[in-house]
Structure 1
Amino acid sequence: MIRLPLFFQNAVKNCSLQAATNEQRKADEKVLKLAEEQKKQKENLHKKIIQLEKQLDAKQAVELEIEQLRGKLNVMRHMEDEDEGDLEVLEKVDSLLKSLREKEGELEDVLALNQTLVVQERNSNDELQDARKELVNGLKELSTNGQIGVKRMGELNSKPFQEAMKRKYNEVEADERATELCSLWEEYLRDPEWHPIKVVEIDGRHQAVIDQEDEKLKDLKNNYGDEVYDAVTSALTEINEYNPSGRYIISELWNYAEGKKATLQEGVVHMMNLWRTYKRKRGMD
């Protein structure tokens, strides 16, 4: 077997490492470009929404002006009936008719532009939601404990139930009782007939809050403590915010460090970091 000189082996190895580095750099640039494009798309969408609001204000102004013109026109026509020979009145009527047609044309243009912006906004939202779903599905397949991950919104935390039962029963019986109670409250959370949410006005705004006078919740708190109560109301709040009509658990891209929904850009950057870590491990192997 012919053995290549050491310097030649090192040269081949360096070329391979350089090629791998170039591929990683290209992949990083591609992911960052995607994140930047999504950011620009969101900014453009915000501008379109502002433009749409302005056009809606213009639409209302034109509609008001049209109604005023129609009122004046009716008055002028009445004057025309009383004095058919008045040329000045006829000219005013003709001018009002012309203005009315122009305003109606302007209104049609505004409505057409409004519709175009609505369609563009809907399409942009669909694209962003599709990208977010793909990211959530990708992260579901990875077991990560990082800052960004997937959170099951409305899922009931069983740990407080276990802790509450350990205070009353031995370990084996506590686990069984905790499982039963947790399953029961999972059914309650999915029950569309149960409405422990009420709408109240806070600082001039209507907000949905937990009804602390709900009998089920009051009994839960009295019998099993604040921790179990907080676990149920937390899941209930999430369901009401993310899926009030379906009342079932959905997956959301989540920033665990800040305790809120992660942005699409945060998710993309996180996936890129995971990919870099994976590439480094592969290189070390």
Structure 2
Amino acid sequence: MEKISEEESKAVDVMERESKLELKNAELIKAMEVKDEEFKKILNEKNEELKHLEDMNSVLCVKTIQSNLEIQEAYEELLSGMRDLSGEASTIRVKRIGQVDDKPFVKVFEKLFSDKVIQLEQAAMLVSKWEDELSDPAWYPFKLVGTGDTLKEIVDDDDEKLKNLSEEFGEDVKNAVKIALEELNKFNPSGRYVVPMLWNFEHGRKATLKEGISHMTQQIRGLKRKRT
């Protein structure tokens, strides 16, 4: 038998290694292809799940909008009914948020004029002037106080217009305007116009829908008892 030279032996060894390497590469490529298919399958499943969630979210958004519209319609109906049924002594009744209280204005002009008609006319004119001021977005008599979580916006008592109002007509008149400003800034800051709202006058806050319905039910029952 012919003896294999050292060079030939090395060549055979290299060929065997190359063959093994090619086999390993083929196995690796096949494994990667399998993994790629598995990944694509998982990705497709996740995409289907995401699409399903997006569809569900769209349905929920539509239902939420519909519910909000229905609640708003019910609220408007309740406001209308409360105007007819609730008297000035009612705990729950409609309050015009941001409306300037004219009583302090009338008191001022009672001291200036003896004629009742003139008193009311002058008070109404001044109230109207300040309601126009309140609706002017260019006038922003607020300042920030506190820091961090305690940071809040309040009416700036040093505002030039408010200071002049106080000096000319007194603190009560200024406070009436200040209260209207606070209400508008809290409940209708983007519009700065008067809005009707169910109000709990006992606790000095916005009434809940439940409180409004309960109060209206009591009013209706009271009317029925009077008729029988």
Same fold (TM over 0.5): yes
1:99 equivalent in alignment to 2:48: no
The equivalent position to 1:110 in structure 2, one of 53, 57, 64, is 53
1:130 corresponds in structure 2 to: 73
Whether the aligned pair in 1 keeps the contact of 2:86 and 2:92 (CA below 8 Å) is no
1:223 and 2:168 matched: yes
Go from structure 1 to structure 2 and tell me whether the alpha carbon gap of 1:220 and 1:134 turns closer, same or farther (over 3 Å shift). same
Q: Map of 1:1-285 to 2, 5 A cutoff?
A: 86-142=29-85, 144=87, 145-166=89-110, 169-172=112-115, 175-198=120-143, 203-204=148-149, 207-283=152-228
Give the C-alpha shift of residue 155 in structure 1: 0.9
After superposition, the Cα gap between the structure-2 partners of 1:201 and 1:120, relative to the gap in structure 1 and judged at 3 Å, is farther
Q: Judging changes above 3 Å, is the alpha-carbon distance between structure 1 residues 127 and 215 closer, same or farther for their aligned structure 2 residues?
A: same
Q: Structure 1, residues 52-110: CA drift from partner, whole Å, max 9, x if none?
A: xxxxxxxxxxxxxxxxxxxxxxxxxxxxxxx6762222222222222222222221111
C-alpha distance in 1 between matches for 2:105 and 2:90: 26
Unaligned runs of 5+ in 1: 1-82
Q: By how many angstroms is 1:136 displaced? A: 0.6
For residues 219-255 of structure 1, what are the alpha-carbon distances to aligned partners after superposition, in whole Å with 9 as ceiling and x for unaligned? 2234333322221121122223333333322211111
C-alpha distance in 2, partners of 1:139/1:152? 13
- Counterpart AA for 1:242: F
Q: Distance between the aligned counterparts of 1:199 and 1:108, measured in 2?
A: 45
Match for residue 3 of structure 1? none
- Name the CA shift for 1:205/1:119 in 2 (closer, same or farther; >3 Å): farther
Q: Could you tell me the TM-score, scaled by structure 1's length?
A: 0.62
- Aligned partner letter, 1:91: V
Q: Secondary structure at the match of 1:86?
A: helix
Give the aligned residue type for 2:190: S
In the TM superposition, residue 134 of structure 1 has moved relative to its aligned partner by 0.4
CA contact (8 A) 2:86 2:219 kept: no
2:14 maps to none
Provide the rounded CA distance (Å) in 1 between the counterparts of 2:149 and 2:54: 32
In the TM superposition, residue 202 of structure 1 has moved relative to its aligned partner by 5.1
Residue deviations 1:168-204, cap 9 Å, x none? x244465554333222111111223322245666542
SS at match of 1:89: helix
Compute the TM-score of the two structures, normalised by the length of structure 2. 0.75
Cα pair distance change 1:111/1:209, threshold 3 Å: farther
- Give 3-state SS (helix, strand or coil) of 1:276's partner: helix
SS at match of 1:229: helix
Q: Quick check: which has more Rg, 1 or 2? A: 2
The equivalent residue for 1:48 is none
- Name the CA shift for 1:201/1:127 in 2 (closer, same or farther; >3 Å): farther
Using the alignment, how far apart are the partners of 1:119 and 1:200 within structure 2?
40
